[in-house]
Amino acid sequence: MSKFAKKVYDLTSRVPKGKVTTYGEIARKMGKPRASRAVGAALRANPTPIVVPCHRVVGQDGSLRGYGGGSGTPTKAKLLKKEGVSFRKGKVDLSKSLFTGF
């Protein structure tokens, strides 16, 4: 596993239940603001879903991006709703659920 992926997993693991962060926010926190796609690629290869809660990472506009578990993004939505994440018009309501306190 690369150092980059380890850092992505470490930051993702800090997102609490009921909150989400974005791929871009993780990239910014790592000092690589243009690496949001690389963050997504690392999360796609996540060897321990739920332990590293990649379902808590969403697009910049609150949209659900790919998810490798279950039936994909419907499973991601189900997990987030179960954790109390707020949705509005089919997207995560970032005004209520965004976590940036790494």
Reported as type and span, the H/E element at residue 53 is none
Q: Which two tokens stand for residue 91?
A: 């997207």
The residue annotated as part of the active site, out of 35, 38, 43, 54, is 54
Contacts of 50 (CB under 8 A, 6+ apart): none
Indicate if 54 belongs to the active site. Answer: yes
5-14: string of b/e by CB count within 10 Å (b at 16+)? bebbbebbee
Which sequence positions are flagged as catalytic? 54
